[in-house]
Amino acid sequence: MSLKRINDRYTGLFAIIISSVFIISLASAYVVKSYTVVDIPAVIFSGIINMVVSVFSFVLITGSIESGNQKFLIFSFGSIVARLFIMIIVILAGLLLFKFNKISFIFAVLFFYFLFLFIETVILVKKVNKKKESSS
């Protein structure tokens, strides 16, 4: 993994956006905790795991953009499938080892998974479109 891919403007933007979303979500969960049964450690654990996996996946995918369409698609779909399996393992570990509240933990994992996937997709589409415009 080269330093150029990590220092890419889009990677920094992606990391800032998902960190901000995580902090806002954590603050919202803390506020909602007084009204419902929200397990704050479960939300923190699921958010951190999703952030790490999302940033790693984003760096891999952005590195494959320069390699051509076929490699980009392989990395894109491969990272989505790998991330989904990692989330299944995280859910099982969280429920069996840490005894998190089942509903709040599974909801938090899926919420962060789909939210970070959406953010990643939007930023990747912008990056790919910019690459197409510059190569034309």
On whether residue 135 sits in a domain, the answer given is no
Domain count, the chain: 1
On whether residue 134 sits in a domain, the answer given is no
Quick one: pLDDT at residue 20? 83
DSSP state letter for 98: S
Quick one: pLDDT at residue 1? 45
On whether residue 113 sits in a domain, the answer given is yes
Long-range contacts, 30-34 (Cβ 8 Å, 24+):
none
Indicate whether this model's pTM tops 0.75: yes
Domain span holding position 114: 3-26+35-127
Quick one: pLDDT at residue 122? 87
Place of tokens 């790998």: 82
On whether residue 77 sits in a domain, the answer given is yes
On whether residue 53 sits in a domain, the answer given is yes
Digit-by-digit pLDDT tens for the chain (136 residues) are 444 554 567 777 777 888 888 888 777 777 766 666 667 888 888 888 988 888 888 888 888 887 888 888 888 888 888 888 988 898 888 889 988 888 888 888 888 888 888 888 888 888 888 877 877 6
Quick one: pLDDT at residue 133? 81
- What is the C-alpha separation between 39 and 83, in angstroms, rounded? 23
On whether residue 132 sits in a domain, the answer given is no
On whether residue 104 sits in a domain, the answer given is yes
On whether residue 133 sits in a domain, the answer given is no
